[in-house]
Amino acid sequence: MSFEIDIEKRLGDTRISLTLDAGQGATVLFGPSGVGKSSILNMVAGLLRPDRGRIAIDGETLFGNGIDLPPERRRAGYVFQEARLFPHMRVRANLLYGVRGEADRFEDSIGFLGIGHLLDRWPRTLSGGEAQRVAIGRALLSKPRFLLLDEPLSSLDRARRDEIMQAIEHVRDVLGLPILMVTHDPDEAERIGTRVVRM
């Protein structure tokens, strides 16, 4: 599966521009805050409209040439900087909320993420690393075509960051799901990125 991104967007005084043709693995958008990395993820997800350009996944146009698919039809799994779990739902319900079709991958997802023991917990009782692993599980259970990761490690301590990086590496190497990730941390970019785009 391949990403084709050729977009431009002006947000206030900032002009965001990216041309990218990437295949399997993890493409990391690396650079300081404020250069538009998260805005690019939002454009790929369909949450922000580019001023011009084209976004395609595996040859299917998501945006461009008169096409602008709504977010739910793009089938992106999106994991934000904060886990954004539903506070009124236990972990199991948060995970099942994202299920698309049959829940046949439920056990696989919670297995490699190591969150089986968390299923009856409330989000407010989870550590930052636990919450992010649940968020990744929910994104994967939606059966996405690709995964968008917006600085998912920035609020975690070193031990928790390593746990999440191992989970992301599993998604990249074992599940083979294409990843587009944003970070300003050079170590994360080097470890996760199959290719790194400096912005």
Residue whose token pair is 């805005």: 39
Predicted model pTM: 0.90
Predicted local confidence at residue 126, as pLDDT:
94
Predicted local confidence at residue 91, as pLDDT:
94
pLDDT in tens, 118-149: 999 999 999 988 999 999 999 988 889 999 99
| Coil vs helix vs strand at 15 | strand
Quote the crossing angle between the two packed helices 128-141 and 158-170, to the nearest 10°: 20
* Domain locations in the chain as residue ranges: 3-86+144-198
Predicted local confidence at residue 62, as pLDDT:
96
**What burial class does residue 85 get, using C-beta atoms within 10 Å of its C-beta: 0-12 exposed, 13-18 middle, 19+ buried?**
buried
Quote the crossing angle between the two packed helices 128-141 and 106-113, to the nearest 10°: 150
Predicted local confidence at residue 142, as pLDDT:
86
For residue 88, what are the contacts with CB-CB under 8 A and spacing of at least 6?
Answer: none
What is the dotted CATH code of the domain comprising 3-86+144-198?
A: 3.40.50.300
Predicted local confidence at residue 109, as pLDDT:
62
**For the chain, which ranges sit under pLDDT 50?**
none
